Amino acid sequence: MKYHFSDRVPKTDVDPVGNILKVAGDPKVMSFAGGLPAPELFPVEQVKKAADKVFDTKGPSALQYGSSQGVPELRNVIVDRLKIDGINTDVDHVMVATGSQQSIDLTGKMFLDEGSVVIVENPTYLTAVDVFRSYGAHFVGVDMDEDGMRMDALEQALKDNPTARLIYTIPTFQNPTGRTMTLDRRKKLLELAVKYDVMVLEDNPYGAIRWEGDNLPSLKSMDTTDHVIYMGTLSKILSPGLRLGWVVAEPKLIKKYMMMKQSADLHTDSLAQYIAAEYFAENDIDEHVQAITALYHKREQIMMAAIDKYFPKNVTHSNPEGGMFLWVMVPGVDDTQKLFDAALERNVAIVPGDPFFGNETIPGTFRMNYSNTPEEKIDDGVKRLAEAIREVMA
């Protein structure tokens, strides 16, 4: 059979990131490559208890078709959680999605045509790049520094691309860099979005996992003109397997999202939504997030200490105040794959930077994850990685 795929389907079967994660999954490889939460902290017993209660009290509703907007009990929980990000809203402004990944997908489906410009941080979340590309996006990357997206570069990008449809940003503990956008830049970004009348897609999966510095207001909390669509998720604070995320936008837009969602999957898994709502009713989520934050901080500190000890001094890196990732920049390396290969020869895996860029890449960059590596293994892994870096630099 000869398949006649649409233009959305990648022309090649080569899946570089999939291949990296596959080798990284080899038990003898010490992987800093993935982006997985620490499974030892999943509240398995509490979720089981919540599931039992849902089956006992609302089994038929949980197993029935449901609303595209999501189960009201969970939307109430979400409205409550949004207050932490300074967003005071109501359930009419919220739609539950099948993870943030679906929120990104529906946004692409809703706003992009072939050739539409999407402005992204340079680098950005690689799976968002894949999604937007599948809807025909043309990417314009905006350079970052340690304070997040550079606003002079953003303004230039907006001037050069007056028809840009979206600015996609992860302002807090960004994936892949771990960087956080300062308050001044958040304000400036909003000012520019209004001035150039461009929609902003604010993705905030990691904001709650902060061990240092002050909580910064989300873009959405400062948005008075409905230029910001906000996305959140339970994946990093409860469980990614539940596949529960949410979109926050004005009701007019939520209605459109619901129409797009109906054609995608009718609605998000009702059983998962009821279980999550029940979990929140019976447990202290803040205490749970504190435990996650404490563990990731401990791992990050061990990784940073090992980097200071072993990496060549001219290798630079981000200094995350929360989240799950840090970004490393090795000078003088023109082919990032060489870093990956040299590390893998020493049974260590990282994700080379290239797939995180919408177009032009910065060679010699890579992402490291610390949330999913037991403390006692980190030092040795970083030591071996440092040897690989020295070999490639030489």
Closest contact distance (angstroms) between CB of 240 and ligand PLP is 5
Q: How near is the Cβ of 75 to ligand PLP at its closest, in Å?
A: 16
Give the shortest CB-174-to-ligand PLP separation in angstroms.
7
What is the smallest separation between the CB atom of 4 and ligand PLP, expressed in angstroms? 30
Which lies closer to ligand PLP via its Cβ, residue 254 or residue 351? 351
Least Cβ distance, residue 29 to ligand PLP (angstroms)? 20
> Apex CA 224: angle with CA 222 and CA 228, to 5°?
70
State the minimum distance, in angstroms, from the CB of residue 321 to ligand PLP. 16
Q: Residue 287: exposed, middle, or buried by beta-carbon count in 10 A (0-12, 13-18, 19+)? A: exposed
Closer of 68 and 101 to ligand PLP (Cβ): 101
Alpha carbon distance 279, 52 (integer Å): 11
- Gap between the Cα atoms of 38 and 137, Å rounded: 33
Query: CA separation (Å) from 344 to 9, 35, 89, 368, 380?
Result: 30, 18, 48, 14, 14
**Starting from the edge strand earliest in sequence, which strands make up the sheet with 138-145, in order?**
94-97, 245-248, 228-233, 199-203, 166-169, 117-122, 138-145, 148-149
Closest approach of Cβ 245 to ligand PLP, in Å? Answer: 4
Contact indicator for 261, 106 with CB cutoff of 8 Å: yes
Q: Which is nearer to ligand PLP, 325 or 340 (CB)?
A: 325
Nearer residue to ligand PLP within complex by CB, 228 or 342: 228
In whole angstroms, how close is the CB of 81 to ligand PLP at the nearest point?
A: 14
Distance in Å, CB of 232 to ligand PLP, minimum: 8
Query: Quick one: three-class SS letters along 151-210?
Result: HHHHHHHHHHCCCCCEEEECCCCCCCCCCCCCHHHHHHHHHHHHHCCCEEEEECCCCCCE
DSSP string, 302-356: HHHHHHHHHS-TT-EE---SBSSEEEEE-TT-S-HHHHHHHHHHTTEE-EESGGG
- Of 173 and 274, nearer to ligand PLP (C-beta) is 173
CB 247 within 8 A of CB 95: yes
Give Cα separations from 369 to 28, 61, 95 (angstroms): 17, 39, 30
For ligand PLP, the closer of residues 170 and 333 by Cβ is: 170
- C-beta of 218 vs 233, nearer to ligand PLP: 233
**Nearer of residues 125 and 132 to ligand PLP, judged by Cβ:** 125
From the list 104, 183, 185, the residue with the least C-alpha distance to 149 is 185
User: Cβ-closest residue to ligand PLP?
Assistant: 99
Q: List contacts with ligand PLP (CB under 6 A).
A: 35, 99-101, 125, 170, 175, 203, 205, 233, 235, 240, 245
The answer to whether 63 and 270 are in contact (CB under 8 A) is yes
User: Which residue lies nearer to ligand PLP by CB, 69 or 268?
Assistant: 268
